[in-house]
Amino acid sequence: MKIVIFGGSGFIGESLVKTLSQEANAEIVVISRRPQYKYQTLPNVKWLVSSVTEDTSWQTTVKEADWVIDCIGILLPNPFKKQNYQSASINPALKLIHFIAKCQKPKFIFVSAKKIPFFISPYFKAKLRVETEIIDFLADRGQAIYPTIVYDQPKQRNWTTAQLILFANHWPLIKILVKDYLPIQRKILSQEVVKILNGQNSYLSKRNY
């Protein structure tokens, strides 16, 4: 099973690479703008330096893939890096979707979101935009997964936020308010993706869990 991961150097992508590398039947190609030499010790992981929106060197690899996983995206815009949701999240996803639609083989997984606080609603709207494109162009060959806040200790802000929500979840009155925002550990998300790749059901495949 050949799996191509875009954004494998990011917080979620890095965990996916490590988890999938333990699958005996998996051949993994990570496509990112930056090389990651720490993956050289993983025998079934290859690295391709490429940009979805700036070149086409990734296309041959995608054509040959069984699965393509899109982990590209930002949580907040960064004007100093000239990053916004359109350029950093929507455009790369749409380019992948439109290319995969012309191929016969690959299936597509997009890391979306279950629910987002109102103050970052543009982030959620960007996710919904990509989901609509998946339905229109890929039908049953494409799907989204819907994690809440993904946390792990290396990302301190996410970790702290997750611990606060988990603590609040123990209080009956507050529990109602946080039920749609219960965080998910990074390794659990990766394990759920493995289930999908192996044809099993995952609770992350539905937004209303």
pLDDT tens profile 162-182: 888 888 888 887 888 888 888
Residue 116's pLDDT is 81
Residue 201 has pLDDT above 70, yes or no: yes
Task: Average the pLDDT over 15-36 and give the result.
Answer: 90
- Determine what percent of the chain falls in helix, strand and coil, rounding each to the nearest 5: 45, 15, 35
Mean pLDDT of the chain: 92
Q: Cβ neighbours of residue 152 under 8 Å, at least 6 residues apart?
A: 11, 15, 158, 159, 185, 186, 187
Phi, psi of 112 (to 5 degrees): -100, -140
Contacts of 8 (CB under 8 A, 6+ apart): 14, 16, 17, 30, 31, 32, 36, 47, 71
pTM of the predicted protein model: 0.93
Using 50, 70 and 90 to split pLDDT, how confident is the model at 119? confident
- Of the ranges 6-20, 26-40, 191-205, the best mean pLDDT one: 191-205
Q: Where are the beta strands (DSSP E) in 83-194?
A: 107-111, 142-145, 150-151, 184-185
